[in-house]
Amino acid sequence: MATHVIAAQPGLNPGQSSHERAYERAYDRIRERNDALMAAQRRARRGPTPEVFFLKRFDNSRLVKAPDPARAREMRTFACAMALLFGLIMIYGWQHLSSIEYGYRIESEKQQMQQLEEDNRQLRLSEAQLGDPVRIDQAARRLGLTAPQPGQVVRPDAVADPNAPALAQITPVIQGIR
């Protein structure tokens, strides 16, 4: 019997939760308030007819504006002051951005210099390893090379041995001299 009484109440559905019912009540209150505000606006209007606006054109072509020298001087002074201020701000900004650019450029050059120093160090190390006489001797033996025989190596900067064999040379004869 209690279920029949709850179901018979208007606005209540058996499957609705309390949150849904509270939402519906709040919605109804807002709708009633909006209806009351609309009725108050209708009563506040000026009579039963709508407002009508008429377009009225004005001809100001015959009006002449009188020159004001004091105002013109003030405007020139203001424009010059603003131009000077703008110029100073632009110079400051240019210097600031240039200093930032130079800072980036200096850092880039420093990194490049460090990279070149590291490359130079690696090349010196490689040169020292490749010029090691022990390594050269081992590589020559692997290739089947043997030690040179005496007299087989001729060095162009060495002092010639006077007892060593020499190649025959032709000396040119100059005629007319006896």
pLDDT winner (highest mean) among 19-23, 58-62, 134-138, 144-148? 134-138
Q: Where are the domains of the chain?
A: 2-60+68-142
Name the percent of the chain lying above pLDDT 90. 42
Name the percent of the chain lying above pLDDT 70. 79
- Mean pLDDT throughout 40-60? 74
Report which of 154, 176, 175 is spatially closest to residue 164, judged by C-alpha positions: 154
Report which of 89, 85, 87, 108 is spatially closest to residue 97, judged by C-alpha positions: 89
What is the residue-wise DSSP string for 102-165?
Answer: HHHHHHHHHHHHHHHHHHHHHHHHHHHHHT-HHHHHHHHHHTT--PPPTT----TTSPPPTTS-
The structure's pTM equals: 0.39
Rounded Cα–Cα distance for residues 11 and 22 (Å): 11
> Are 12 and 6 within 8 A, CB to CB?
yes
74-112 tens-digit pLDDT: 999 999 999 999 999 999 999 999 999 999 999 999 999
Beta-carbon contacts of 6 under 8 Å, excluding residues fewer than 6 positions away, are 12, 14
Rounded Cα–Cα distance for residues 2 and 27 (Å): 28
pLDDT for residue 163 is more than 80:
no
**pLDDT tier for residue 46 given thresholds of 50, 70 and 90:** low
> Are 22 and 30 within 8 A, CB to CB?
no
